[in-house]
Each structure stands twice: as C-alpha cells, then as structure tokens.
Structure 1
Amino acid sequence: MHDRPGRDGPRTVSRRDALIYAISAPALLAFGPMTATLTAQKASAAEVRLIDFTHRQVPPEQIKAAGFGGALVYVSELRPGADFDFKPVTRGYADALRATGLHVVSCYQYGKPGWPTPSDYTRGYDGGVADARTALRLHSAAGGPASAPIFFSIDEDIDLDIWKSVAVEWLRGINAVLGVNRTGVYGHAQVCAWAIADGVIGRSTTPGHWWAWQTKAWSGGEREPRAVLYQSVVVTASDPGVRLGGTNVDVDEVLAGDFGQWDLDRA
C-alpha cells in the first residue's frame, strides 16, 4: 500500500500484458465449464498486474495502455492533512475503470504511523467495527458488490505480540460487521500467515488461497503462498516505484484467479 515513505530493499518492475478473457474463453469452453474456469484462473494469476496509488490516481486508459489489469481503490476517508485525490474512491472513477475493462479491488487505510491519526489496527476491536462500517459504506457507494472482500491495512512491521494483543482484535471487529468471508488483510508475510491461522480473513474461491495481500516490505524475502496478491514494487522516499500518469504507483502481482475483484460473481 500505500501513502508512506521508509520502505527499503531492491525493487523490480514487471509489466506483462493483462490476460484478455474474451480471447481465451471460447477455446477453453470447448473442454467444459469447470476446465475453462480453472484454466482461466491459473492463466490470469500468471499474467495480471495491478497498481495501487500512493499520491494521485491515474486515468484508467493510461493504466490499461501501460499493460496493467486494474487497480486497488480506497474505500476509506482522507485523513486530515493529506492531499491525495484517490481517497475515497468515487463512483465515477470506479465506473470508468470498469468501463475500460480493468479490474477493481477494494482496500482500506485511514491512519498511518507518525500522523495524528495512528495506524488503524491500534484501535482494537471497537476501531475495527468503526472502520468496517466506513469501508462498507464507501465500497457500496462506489458500486462495489456485496460479494467482494475489502483488504484492511497493517502498514508497518508488527511482531507476534502486537498481533495477538491488538491487531487480531481489530480484525475481529471488522469480522463483526463484514463477516469473515469478506475480510481481507494487507501486511508482511507473517501478518498474512497469522490472519489465516487465526481465522480472521476469508477464503478466496480459488482453492488454497485467502484474502491476504502481502507486501514485500518487512517480509525479509519470505512469501506467503496462500496470498492472492503480492506487492512487488513499493514506492518509498528512496525509490519512486513505477511512474505512470504523472505520478508514482506501487505494483501488485495477482496470485489467484479470484483475487477479490469486483467483477467476479461469487454467488
């Protein structure tokens, strides 16, 4: 994620073209619906890259022209003192992404270390309830479907003690509003693993995957294989990330056919 400096480590940029479902689907369907679905999921997971915003949003046509398959959008309010134009996502921008054929995934982050508004997870269970209500309201207002998950950010290097004492309770508060099935988390490799182990995030419809969005930051080179997204390029004070549409963006690899995108029917 997100709007923050201070992450380090080498960055690599990969810009593969997004999978065009309309091209592959007819051939796949010749082998039957289930085979087509599973094959398409594997192919899409190998090809699609998303972006997430750090300062300014990018016009949808520029995202598509650069070879990305979509964007993570923020269903959170803009904290006092910030000047970003991507929080909260508007219905107009979300519709424009979808009309361009791009995937949309919802994420939430309001507070941040070093600001008067501290990291969201530090507010525990009651904070989770409040954050989930805000996220649900803004997700729905932007046209987000009732089956899509929302990824909630733990955007710092927490340890197991902090997880057990505070962060997991925050996610349980979110569960109380959204339900576990629609709760996702963003964080380092261990955060993703802890969330899966403690049952506070939901399962993707892709077997073996949960609503975990791993960042390379603080992960020490570790990978959580059950995640659906991996943030491989991270904008920091020392690394500009990827320049796109006159701004700098993070890049996220898609690891599963169902990675939380709005346009997938999970009924």
Structure 2
Amino acid sequence: MAHRLLPLAVLTATALSVTLASCAGDDGDAEPLRTTDRAAPVGTGYTSDQLEQALLPDVSGYERAGEPDSGEYGSLKAIQNFDQLQDQVTLDKPRCAKAAGRPAAGVDRSTPTAIVTFARGNGQTATETLMAMTTDAAEQQVKARVPAGCLTFRTRVGSQWSEHRVFEAPPGTLGGGSRTVGVTTTSGGSHTKTWYVVLRGRRFLATISLYGPNATRAEAEQLARAAYDQARRILP
C-alpha cells in the first residue's frame, strides 16, 4: 500500500482544478451518479448515507462546491472522472506506474463512501472523503508510504509536462493514526501545492485534500482534525 497517496497528487497537480472540482459532484446541474444505499459491509458498520451525514457541513472561509456525493465507491462521479483522467496521464518514471492509482487503491468498489468539496475565491479547494473501512484496512492505508524513487517525478497531460516534488511527513497522531503528504507542482509558470492527510477513525478512513497555490500543511491538518471530530460526533 506504499503508493496509495501519491497518485491523486499526480493527477490533481497535472489536471489542476479538473480533478478536485469533480469531487463536488459537478455544478449541481447534473444528477450525481449514485446507487441505492446498501447494508454496511461486515466489519465496517456504516452506510454511505451515514457517512454523508458525518461530513463537514462547512469550512470557515470556503463555500461548498455543490452537494455532497455518496454511494458505493465505484459509483461516485468523482471516482469515475478520476478513472477517465488517469488514462490521460503519462509518468516519466515507468517504475512509478503502480503509483498511478487513487488513495485507497485496491478498496472494493462497493465500499460505502461520501465526498464533499469546498472552494474559496483564490482558487483553493478542500475535499473531504469518508470511507467505511475495517480497523485493519484503515491502518494499512495510514501506514502506506511513497515508493522509493518517486519523491520527484514528471507527468504529461497532452503536450504539457509538469514537475512534482513530494514531501512525506513522519507518521502522525491525528485520529487513531495519520499520515501527511505534500506535493509541490511546477507547470509552465504555475506553482501549486497539494496536501493530503489520511487518518483512521472507528471503522472509517478520512482523507482531506487541500489544493491551491497557498495550500499549507497546517491548514490541511487543521481540517483533518475538524473532519475527525465531526465524524466522531455523528457516527454511532
């Protein structure tokens, strides 16, 4: 599982707002792709409807970018958009190809999931994802590490090359355990940052993705704390 955080950073950085904007469930004009909420899988305890209710209702300084989306992991519009976008990305290091999956790669596509995105005027976005997950599975995600040799890499979308530099923090203590990864991307004259915080809760995994030219680790981890506290208040 060492590669499961880096890939979304690759695609987020190269596609800029395309990926993160899709996490908002489009602009509200289109019907979100959802499936009927099923009983929670054995060992997880939560349905996607419960997870949606446990998402952050608001973030200070941001506006919610569309309605939250929830359902089976593979049915969510953000994930389907990601799958399509992933096919357009070329890595300069073929040995890092296994890193070209999303966070929580390998998770069953029927896993109950909920996603919400917030945006503010400077082009910065914050996305929260909650997934129903057993304690052991969530722990594996938190213990994941960026693969060797992939702390710097280049990606190409169309004719545009982007350079990426990855920072991985030591294991954290948010929630039941956490990890933080930052990616700085240079594409032409543009410089952007993406921070990811993944943390384990009681039968759930939470991910905060903070993207923008002024994104900081401190803010990403602050949002992760708020997301964990909110989920703990709501989920039984």
User: TM-score, normalised on structure 2?
Assistant: 0.29
Whose helix proportion is higher, 1 or 2? 1
User: TM-score, normalised on structure 1?
Assistant: 0.27
